[in-house]
Amino acid sequence: MATAAKHLQSAKDLHGAGLIAAEALPTIEQVAARYAVAITPAMAELIDPSDPQDPIARQFVPDAAELLSRPEESADPIGDEPHSPVEGIVHRYPDRVLLKLVHVCAVYCRFCFRRETVGQGNGVLAGEALAAALDYIRRHDEIWEVILTGGDPLVLSARRLRDAVQRLAAIAHVKIIRVHTRVPIVDPKRITARLVAALQAKGKATYVVVHANHPRELTQAARAACARLVDAGIPLLSQSVLLRGVNDDPAVLGALMRALVECRIKPYYLHHADLAPGTAHLRTSIAHGRQLMRDLRGRYSGLCQPSYMLDIPGGFGKSPIGPDYLLQPAEDGAYRVEDFSGNIHSYPPAPQ
């Protein structure tokens, strides 16, 4: 396994840690000049440099294929920009908004849908910009939930997080604060008692959605970090991205979902990979994703079943795209239902 005592943030760092060959340096430097690079020590230790298809490396080590963009790919693949009325806010759905507190992450995923904007300088939403974003939320009383995202909000200090959470908590119509993060998995030592306390607000419900894509990411340290959140009364959900060569195998995907449930994390979303520039080598087909969901159904606990989701390009929101089990009704109005083994059964129509 690779070793690293510090964050790896350049092609030279990756070469020094044994994660790329010397001959790859010029190309990987080109990738790093366009898209941010960072791998935490916790993730570097999981990478097997002798395996060219290592599933952890595929997520974090830059690849020459990232320099190749396809016509269908976009710098804003899920359409954040058309729904951003003020800096830091994305208001796509009626009752909730994204609040992008920071454009920095602990690690930079090679499939990131915000890869054109994250990792650029400090990128913290503060001062007048944060005040304007909070004022937008204050003026829109239909906003029931605020989702802290970025970047990764848990790279911020406990002091900054506490300030943002308390200012949101002071808005009466905001009832739910949701945090989207990779930090408990990729940099678990950051989940301190002070940070956990900073996420809590009296009279508000805080949820944390952690991002993990392979069962090896759920190390003992990551499990302990997640437990600190759950033991403090913060429910955990998960989101994963379906990635070629990482989790596009039923046994691997099932093991990931089981590992999450064992950590008291409810699998929430399995995202079909977005059309971000230079990510085609990591995307699967939707047909393959639907088959994987069929492979999970009935063979793994109902607790292990995420919703397979597509974020429709252009800003039209997420739609579930999982397989269908209810078939067209027969002539007598009875439904036909397929079980997880592929057998078809009849279900009677409602009485008239």
Task: Tell me the per-residue pLDDT of 15-70, one tens digit each, with 9 for 90 and over.
Answer: 999 999 999 999 999 999 999 999 999 999 999 999 999 999 999 999 999 999 99
Mean pLDDT of all residues in 1-8: 73
Per-residue confidence (pLDDT) for residue 1, from 0 to 100 = 63
Per-residue confidence (pLDDT) for residue 122, from 0 to 100 = 63
Rounded distance between C-alpha atoms, residue 270 and residue 322, angstroms: 10
Q: How many helices (H) and strands (E) does the chain have?
A: 11, 12
Asked if residue 212 has pLDDT above 70, the reply is: yes
| pLDDT single digits (tens) 60-117 | 999 999 999 999 999 999 999 999 999 999 999 999 999 999 999 999 999 999 999 8
Task: Please report, in angstroms and rounded to a whole number, the separation of the first and last CA atoms in the chain.
Answer: 66
| pLDDT single digits (tens) 298-350 | 899 999 999 999 999 999 999 999 999 998 777 778 899 999 999 999 998 88
Per-residue confidence (pLDDT) for residue 119, from 0 to 100 = 84
Nearest to 148 by CA among 216, 188, 201: 201
Active-site residue list: 92-93, 96, 105, 109, 112, 114, 274, 311, 318
Paired sense of beta strands 205-211 and 96-100, if any: unpaired
Cα distances (Å, whole numbers) of residue 125 to 79, 101, 122, 176: 20, 5, 9, 20
Contact predicate 50/44, CB 8 Å: no
Per-residue confidence (pLDDT) for residue 4, from 0 to 100 = 61
Mean pLDDT of all residues in 126-146: 97
Q: What 3-state class would DSSP assign to 197? A: helix
Asked if residue 211 has pLDDT above 90, the reply is: yes
Q: What 3-state class would DSSP assign to 296? A: helix
| DSSP letters spanning 149-190 | ESS-GGGS-HHHHHHHHHHHHTSTT--EEEEEESHHHHSGGG
Per-residue confidence (pLDDT) for residue 333, from 0 to 100 = 82
What would the two tokens of residue 4 be? 């690293």
Count CB atoms within 10 A of the CB of residue 349: 12
Per-residue confidence (pLDDT) for residue 95, from 0 to 100 = 98
Each domain of the chain, given as residue ranges in start order, spans 11-67, 81-320, 324-352
Q: Could you confirm whether domain 81-320 is CATH 3.40.50.1980?
A: no
Rounded distance between C-alpha atoms, residue 2 and residue 5, angstroms: 10
Count CB atoms within 10 A of the CB of residue 159: 11
Per-residue confidence (pLDDT) for residue 351, from 0 to 100 = 84
pLDDT category, 2, cuts 50, 70, 90?
low
Mean pLDDT of all residues in 193-220: 98
Q: With helix as H, strand as E and coil as C, how does 213-274 read?
A: CCHHHCCHHHHHHHHHHHHCCCCEEEEEEECCCCCCCHHHHHHHHHHHHHCCEEEEEEEECC
Asked if residue 172 has pLDDT above 80, the reply is: yes
Rounded distance between C-alpha atoms, residue 153 and residue 292, angstroms: 31
Per-residue confidence (pLDDT) for residue 330, from 0 to 100 = 73
pLDDT category, 121, cuts 50, 70, 90?
low
| pLDDT single digits (tens) 264-286 | 999 999 999 999 999 999 999 99
